[in-house]
């Protein structure tokens, strides 16, 4: 689908940049998001996951999985990555929770603006007094202006929080609706890596992507003009029967290699390895801790996020389990 024009991207938003500006900023960030560095964060992801599961167990059933687990895990990892002081983390989490408020777009927007403002101020503080975190590393490099540094911090928040939170919640929902697949993952944690890739393919929470056309081009017989905007249907590509057999089935044992959940090319998701680590750790841990986990309401009553301008997901996911 093509037409229209893209508005200017916010400062620091890599998805709206073109080379050479995009190349300069992405190169700085790429060294911070290597597979090796993200793997080193596995221990901290495991600790945070265990802490959230402990809190969930103490609270007892029923619980909203979004509020008690799916949202806090990536929010706390963002805090770790960007060096948010411990004294600020409760307020950071409270603002982050507003991003999943059902039917409250004003609250969602206000929450993001509040967090972005906080991170811009934090970025400047890191420049003056660096600590051991990604934001301080970027500030110390001296290659980003104050405005760019704050913008990159806000971009990382938007890219790494809502997406992973919704994958954890929606992924759990998908498994609860497919008990045979859930049982396979619970009984064989070795399936975790492949299960995460299949859930990414099957759910495609970033359903579409936008690209600005730089020069006239023919796409499968359609003339697209320079300046047009092309909407890429990632969810359709991830269910292409020419690539994946029986694409509408969730099959954790299939090879989902080649899915486009993280995009493709120079704008491919920079934080995909961290998202993978979080999901590979958190989903099996949740199912192991609560083997009787199930929906607390009929599945048709679960409120889905279907606004095409937002990440696909759930607003709330009421679950319950057997105690003792």
Q: Is residue 72 very low, low, confident or very high in pLDDT (cuts 50, 70, 90)?
A: very high
Give the model's pLDDT for residue 119: 85
Q: pLDDT by residue (tens digit) across 216-233?
A: 999 889 999 998 988 889
Query: Who wins on pLDDT, 103 or 305?
Result: 305
Give the model's pLDDT for residue 92: 84
Taking the chain, what is the end-to-end CA distance rounded to the nearest angstrom? 53
- Other C-beta atoms within 10 Å of 242: how many? 6
Q: Is residue 252 very low, low, confident or very high in pLDDT (cuts 50, 70, 90)?
A: very high
Q: Is residue 190 very low, low, confident or very high in pLDDT (cuts 50, 70, 90)?
A: very high
- CA dist., res. 196 & res. 81, Å (int): 22
- Tell me the backbone φ, ψ of residue 229, rounded to 5 degrees: -110, 130
CA R_g for the chain: 20
Distance of CA 322 to the CA centre of its chain: 30
Q: Is residue 101 very low, low, confident or very high in pLDDT (cuts 50, 70, 90)?
A: low
Burial of 204 (0-12, 13-18, 19+ CB in 10 A): buried
- CA dist., res. 185 & res. 253, Å (int): 10
Q: pLDDT by residue (tens digit) across 230-239?
A: 888 999 999 9
> What domains appear along the chain, each with residue ranges and CATH number?
14-292 (1.10.630.10)
Instruction: Determine the average pLDDT of the residues in 96-105.
Output: 66
Instruction: Determine the average pLDDT of the residues in 8-29.
Output: 79
């Amino acid at each position: 689908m093509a037409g229209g024009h893209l508005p200017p991207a916010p400062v620091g938003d890599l998805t709206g940049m073109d080379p050479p500006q995009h190349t300069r900023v992405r190169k700085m960030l790429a060294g911070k998001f290597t597979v090796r560095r993200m793997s080193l964060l596995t221990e901290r992801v495991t600790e945070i996951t265990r802490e959230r599961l402990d809190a969930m167990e103490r609270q007892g059933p029923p619980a909203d999985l979004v509020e008690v687990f799916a949202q806090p895990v990536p929010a706390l990892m963002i805090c770790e990555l960007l060096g948010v002081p411990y004294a600020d983390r409760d307020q950071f989490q409270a603002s982050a929770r507003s991003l999943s408020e059902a039917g409250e777009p004003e609250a969602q927007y206000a929450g993001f603006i509040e967090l972005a403002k906080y991170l811009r101020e934090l970025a400047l503080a890191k420049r003056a007094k660096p600590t051991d975190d990604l934001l301080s590393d970027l500030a110390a490099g001296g290659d980003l202006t104050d405005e760019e540094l704050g913008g990159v911090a806000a971009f990382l928040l938007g890219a790494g929080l809502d997406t992973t939170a919704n994958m954890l919640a929606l992924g759990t929902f998908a498994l609860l609706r497919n008990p045979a697949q859930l049982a396979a993952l619970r009984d064989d944690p070795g399936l975790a890596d492949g299960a995460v890739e299949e859930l990414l393919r099957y759910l495609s929470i970033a359903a579409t992507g936008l690209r600005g056309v730089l020069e006239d081009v023919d796409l499968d017989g359609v003339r697209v003009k320079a300046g047009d905007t092309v909407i890429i249907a990632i969810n359709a590509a991830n269910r292409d029967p020419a690539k994946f057999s029986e694409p509408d089935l969730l099959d954790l044992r299939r090879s989902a290699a080649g899915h486009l959940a993280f995009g493709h090319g120079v704008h491919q998701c920079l934080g995909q390895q961290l998202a993978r680590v979080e999901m590979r750790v958190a989903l099996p841990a949740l199912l192991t801790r609560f083997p009787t986990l199930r929906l607390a309401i009929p599945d048709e009553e679960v409120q889905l996020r279907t606004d095409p301008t937002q990440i696909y997901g759930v607003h709330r996911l009421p679950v319950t389990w057997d105690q003792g």
